[in-house]
Amino acid sequence: MKTQVCIIGAGPSGLLLAQLLHRAGVDTVVLERHTREHVLGRIRAGVLETGFCDLMRGAGIGARLDKEGQVHDGFDIAYRGVRHRIDLSGLTGGHTVMIYGQTEIQHDLFEARDAMDGVTITEAKNVQLHDIDRDTPHVTYTMDGENFHVDCDFIAGCDGYHGVSRQSIPTEALVTYEKVYPVGWLGVLADTPPVSDELIYSNHERGFALCSLRSDHVSRYYIDVPVDTPLQEWPDDVFWEELKSRLPKDAAAALVTGPSTEKSIAPLRSFVCDTMNYGRLFLAGDAGHIVPPTGAKGLNSAASDIYFLSRGLIDYYKSGAEDGLKAYPVKALARVWKAERFSWWMTQLLHRLPENDGGFSLRLQEAELDYLLNSKAALTSLAENYVGLPFE
């Protein structure tokens, strides 16, 4: 099999890149190690920046997003039992975010891929990247005991943190940075009406909490717990009571509880691979970087990667110019590191992280919150980062 760009991973990054390239006449093959059902069943983020939404529209797959997504022009920070509204629209000149679950994005992308008769190979096992430092790279994989070979011009590694793409770069060429937090997010999805029309981030002496939503009848709630906490220690009734204890009284009283439809604990970590390009291999999304979910930047940072990478590839096939591809690591990482900074800052701001410093960090956090909530300049900085910095 031969193609122009072989994309490893059929998550949002991989399929969005495939869609953008297809509309520009660039041929792609997408390889995914899991089943389509597995990919569609993953419960992930749902707060989308304006830039991500514009990218979906530019790819011709924004119709359902615009019809069913919920525009949010603000959110609350709860501190000392009081809810403080962050007016995103007012502070940024009209910019907002969209609430639209990643699962729905994934459905839209698969539907678009099918409509173009794009080659998407799921359950591709033992995927291996070859000759990535040469002009003629290729990818091999197995399926049902048979070996397959894909010749290509470029490889886009969109296969996540644990994927084969980053692991294919020689160790001596890899430059990575990582920060691991001692807490994780215990998340619950429930078919219950949201407690609020907008998100509530809560800093409480018992710990962090977040009230989010997927729709008018599906809620997503989080609390932070020690990262090594067994999930079985958190039956639904225990989770709901703990969540209530970390919310302001009005929110706790309005909370509608019910059986969870999904429950998991996600670790919090920051990770950046500064080697976003090696030869004919380009990393994008979680293959190149991870952020704590506090700032809602994971999926949005992946989208900015795809923005830069798609344009570099399209320019190459239109004119032979390699400037966009050569600039990809610099442009992508410049925005990634800003997202990392914001996510780190939000995590430090809202979590009571265990630190052996005699309470110094806690007092700094209190001072930061007091300053933030009483300074228009600080609130504007928060709002600008939350709705998303420009791609260019």
Average pLDDT, the chain: 95
Query: For residue range 220-261, what is the model confidence (pLDDT) as tens digits?
Result: 999 999 989 999 999 999 999 999 999 999 999 999 999 999
Select which of 22, 72, 95, 204 is catalytic: 72
CATH number at 5-72+97-178+269-348:
3.50.50.60
Return the domain boundaries, the chain. Answer: 5-72+97-178+269-348, 181-267+360-387
Over range 197-218, report the average pLDDT.
94
Say what the pLDDT of residue 357 is: 75
Say what the pLDDT of residue 233 is: 96
Select which of 12, 137, 248, 293 is catalytic: 293
Q: What percent of the chain has pLDDT over 90?
A: 93
Task: Give Cα separations from 386 to 181, 275, 334, 343, 370 (angstroms).
Answer: 21, 26, 17, 9, 19
Distance of CA 347 to the CA centre of its chain: 15
Residue 177 annotated among the catalytic residues of the structure: no
- Predicted confidence band of residue 43 (pLDDT cuts 50, 70, 90): low
Residue 82 predicted with pLDDT over 80: yes
Say what the pLDDT of residue 392 is: 77
Residue 230 annotated among the catalytic residues of the structure: no
Indicate if 181-267+360-387 has the same CATH topology as 5-72+97-178+269-348: no
Residue 102 predicted with pLDDT over 90: no
Q: How far apart are CA 262 and CA 24, in angstroms?
A: 39
Superfamily, domain 181-267+360-387: D-Amino Acid Oxidase, subunit A, domain 2 (3.30.9.10)
Residue 386 annotated among the catalytic residues of the structure: yes
Q: How far apart are CA 23 and CA 57, in angstroms?
A: 12
pTM of the entire structure? 0.94
Query: For residue range 310-361, what is the model confidence (pLDDT) as tens digits?
Result: 999 999 999 999 999 999 999 999 999 999 999 999 999 999 988 767 789 9
Say what the pLDDT of residue 214 is: 86
Q: How far apart are CA 199 and CA 183, in angstroms?
A: 21
Say what the pLDDT of residue 41 is: 82
Say what the pLDDT of residue 356 is: 63
In the chain, DSSP finds a helix count (H) and a strand count (E) of 13, 20
Identify which of 238, 328, 244, 242 has the alpha carbon closest to the alpha carbon of residue 279: 328
Residue 293 annotated among the catalytic residues of the structure: yes
Select which of 79, 181, 201, 307 is catalytic: 201
